[in-house]
């Protein structure tokens, strides 16, 4: 029986290790993780309870042992020898593999302006602990980047009474992944909560206590956090000669250009049915790709076809997006008292949906909409817009048809 080696003990790597066992694999599984902790979830880092950083472990040491997963904590893979199929580790050991999973995730993009070293990143537990141990009421924080992570962090910091400014190069925050309707609503909510926005602004320079903007103005800060997105961690794959682009390129089976090596999660750019490779940065994507990769590494032959989905919590609001809304899609809005759903149709066919409302209020409808998308329906837009029409009935009639 061959050994499975998994590099990266984040959401994807850890889930893959357990999923390989669930698939009946009885050989050795080694999980190599650079961070000095048990595997943990990243989303709770930007959603701390009572303002305290939460380390939410994905599994216990006992669960790893019970599943026969050998976890090498605080050890990184330094090099791959794909010809002889072994991995060289930072502690000098070598590990032979029959199948290898690259689940190396992503790392924060760095600013290129003078003084960039004065900023803190926000990706790991150590980053979060460093930030939250130093902030409090009345402190001033500048967050560079008005994307999901920057906006979530702003919401948490406002909750602690911190004075928060967001500097964003685009003219609006949340422009990348969030549908414009909900990006605008979240922007307004942040303004009401007192977040100061500096939009359409590049950074001239960063000093230890201020961010100097392109227009010459400066925003003072006790702490400056860079949240300008992430880059896929592809260095190992590149050095080993695997095909890479905006991620480690895989086919639809999550196999890289080397048939013994798979990739999953934030580092993987997966071949799409319509051509091209797509990389997603979300918790559920990391888990579902890991499960498919694990089954394929243990004898399965499954294409990865899960609908992209992510959520974000800001203040008391929960956002969920399923599928990939595009500007050319027809959009249909369904309004409730406190929340809204938006459906996206491509030539009449439902392809994506999003919702925003208090707590997890939109979760049930988003789940039903995901089912509708899976059925492949072209629903009547007026039925989608009407809150009195239960989405379950649309699923039933689509199935009957
Ligand atoms: C603060 C924060 C909040 C988030 N909130 C949400 C949310 O609300 N909703 C949502 O859908 N998604 C959210 N995400 C995104 C989600 O957490 C990620 O998409 C997910 O964690 C990706 O999992 P991964 O295993 O692919 O990568 P990662 O979690 O990045 O794990 C990769 C691991 O591999 C390790 N590694 C890298 N190279 C090596 C090597 N050579 N040797 C050994 N180990 C290595 C890294 O140290 C890391 O621990 C959030 C992310 C962050 C940072």
Distance 122 CA to ligand 1 centre (A): 11
Q: Burial, 21: exposed, middle or buried (Cβ in 10 Å; 0-12, 13-18, 19+)?
A: middle
Q: Is 118 left (phi over 0), alpha (psi -120 to 50) or beta?
A: alpha
Q: Is residue 329 domain-resident?
A: yes
Same domain, 391 and 343: yes
- Is residue 381 over pLDDT 70? yes
Residue from 39, 78, 125, 266 to probe ligand 1 pocket by mutation (most atoms less than 8 Å from CB): 266
Q: What angle do CA 103, 245, 71 make, to 5 degrees?
A: 10
Alpha carbons 300 and 306: distance in angstroms, whole number: 16
List the structure tokens of 343.
Answer: 């459906």
Alpha carbons 158 and 153: distance in angstroms, whole number: 9
Q: Is residue 309 domain-resident?
A: no
- pLDDT for position 51: 66
Q: Tens digits of per-residue pLDDT, 166-189?
A: 999 999 999 999 999 999 999 999
Picking from 193, 226, 259, the residue at the C-terminal end of a domain is 226
Question: How many residues would you count in the chain?
Answer: 401
- pLDDT for position 107: 98
- Is residue 136 over pLDDT 90? no
Alpha carbons 275 and 355: distance in angstroms, whole number: 28
Range 108-121 average pLDDT: 97
**Domains held by the chain: number:** 3
Residue 162 CA neighbour count, 13 Å, CB half: 27
Residue from 57, 264, 282, 285 to probe ligand 1 pocket by mutation (most atoms less than 8 Å from CB): 282
Q: Is residue 303 domain-resident?
A: no
What lies within 8 Å, CB to CB, of 2 at 6+ separation is: 27, 97, 98, 99
Taking CA atoms only, the protein residue closest to ligand 1 atom 23 is 11
Distance 117 CA to ligand 1 centre (A): 22
80 close to ligand 1 (CB < 6 Angstrom): no
121 close to ligand 1 (CB < 6 Angstrom): no
What average pLDDT is seen over the chain?
A: 96
Q: Where are the beta strands (DSSP E) in 233-281?
A: 244-245, 247-250, 261-263, 268-271, 277-278
Q: Is residue 307 domain-resident?
A: no
Q: Is residue 380 domain-resident?
A: yes
**Nearest atom in ligand 1 to 32's CA:** 43
List the structure tokens of 242.
Answer: 């695997």
Q: Is residue 370 domain-resident?
A: yes
Q: Is residue 304 domain-resident?
A: no
Q: How confident is the model at residue 52 (pLDDT cuts 50, 70, 90)?
A: confident
Q: Where are the alpha helices (DSSP H) in 224-312?
A: 235-239, 283-297
**Nearest atom in ligand 1 to 14's CA:** 25
The domain that holds 76 is classified in CATH as: 3.50.50.60
Same domain, 42 and 100: yes
Same domain, 244 and 212: no
Q: How confident is the model at residue 9 (pLDDT cuts 50, 70, 90)?
A: very high
Q: Tens digits of per-residue pLDDT, 257-270?
A: 999 999 999 999 99
The domain that holds 357 is classified in CATH as: 3.30.390.30
Return the closest-CA partner of residue 276 out of 313, 324, 311, 229: 324
Range 99-125 average pLDDT: 97
Alpha carbons 17 and 197: distance in angstroms, whole number: 43
pTM, 2 dp: 0.96
Same domain, 100 and 238: yes
Distance 42 CA to ligand 1 centre (A): 6
Task: Give the domain extent around 210.
Answer: 116-226
- pLDDT for position 53: 81
């Amino acid at each position: 029986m061959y050994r499975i080696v998994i590099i990266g003990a984040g959401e994807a790597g850890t889930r893959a290790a357990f999923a390989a066992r669930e698939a009946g694999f009885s050989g050795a599984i080694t999980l190599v993780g650079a961070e000095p902790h048990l595997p943990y979830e990243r989303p709770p880092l930007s959603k701390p309870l009572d303002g305290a950083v939460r380390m939410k472990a994905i599994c216990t040491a006992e669960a790893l042992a019970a599943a026969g997963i050998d976890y090498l904590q605080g050890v990184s893979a330094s090099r791959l020898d794909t010809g002889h199929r072994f991995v060289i580790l930072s502690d000098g050991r070598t590990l032979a593999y029959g199948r290898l999973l690259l689940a190396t995730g992503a790392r924060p993009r760095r600013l290129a302006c003078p003084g960039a070293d004065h900023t803190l990143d926000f990706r790991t537990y150590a980053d979060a602990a460093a930030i939250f141990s130093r902030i409090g009421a009345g402190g001033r924080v500048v967050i560079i980047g008005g994307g999901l992570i920057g906006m979530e962090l702003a919401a948490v910091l406002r909750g602690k009474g911190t004075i928060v400014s967001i500097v964003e190069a685009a003219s609006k925050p949340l422009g990348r992944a969030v549908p414009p309707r909900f990006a605008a609503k979240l922007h307004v909510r942040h303004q009401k909560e007192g977040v100061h926005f500096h939009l359409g602004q590049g950074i001239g320079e960063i000093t230890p206590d201020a961010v100097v903007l392109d227009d010459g103005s400066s925003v003072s800060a006790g702490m400056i956090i860079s949240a300008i997105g992430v880059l896929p961690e592809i260095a190992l794959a590149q050095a080993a000669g695997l095909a890479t682009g905006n991620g480690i390129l895989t086919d639809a089976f999550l196999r890289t250009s080397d048939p013994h090596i798979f990739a999953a999660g934030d580092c993987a750019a997966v071949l799409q049915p319509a051509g091209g490779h797509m990389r997603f940065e979300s918790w559920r994507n990391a888990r579902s790709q890991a499960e498919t990769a694990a089954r394929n590494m243990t004898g399965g032959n499954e294409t990865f076809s899960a609908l992209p989905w992510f959520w974000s919590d800001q203040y008391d609001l929960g956002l969920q997006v399923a599928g990939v809304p595009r500007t050319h899609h027809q959009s249909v809005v369904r309004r409730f008292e406190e929340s809204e759903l938006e459906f996206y149709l491509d030539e009449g066919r439902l392809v994506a949906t999003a919702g925003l409302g208090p707590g997890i209020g939109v979760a049930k409808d988003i789940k039903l909409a995901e089912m509708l998308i899976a059925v492949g329906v072209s629903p009547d837009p007026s039925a989608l817009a009407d809150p009195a029409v239960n989405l379950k009935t649309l699923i039933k009639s689509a199935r009957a048809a």
